[in-house]
Amino acid sequence: MLGSPEPFAIAGKPFIALYLFAQRYHENMPLDDLCELVAQSIYDTICIDGDVGGKIRISTIDPDEYHESLDRDVRRSIRQWGEPLV
């Protein structure tokens, strides 16, 4: 998945976030940990590149349902810039 993002969409400045994500990603991560890693990677990308910004929205899609994470849950999972992934 990391080498070829299809069928997933990557917009904006994906390479910083993808690099940060790849540093901590491992197979069989629990879904909650994976969502936190995605949010943290996006947050750190925003802190590194001033052109990136906006609200971080995380959704999970599986064969049975679509679930959008609440804003407060996304914010709670992000460590402040004092503790970046790298």
What band does 54 get if pLDDT is binned at 50, 70 and 90?
Answer: confident
pLDDT digits (tens, 9 = 90+) for 26-45: 888 888 888 888 888 888 88
What band does 61 get if pLDDT is binned at 50, 70 and 90?
Answer: confident
What are the start-end ranges of the H helices in 26-70? 31-48
Burial of residue 48 (CB within 10 Å: 0-12, 13-18, 19+) is middle
24's enclosing H/E stretch is helix 14-24
Enumerate the domain spans of the chain: 14-77
pTM: 0.66
Q: Is the pLDDT of residue 1 over 50?
A: no
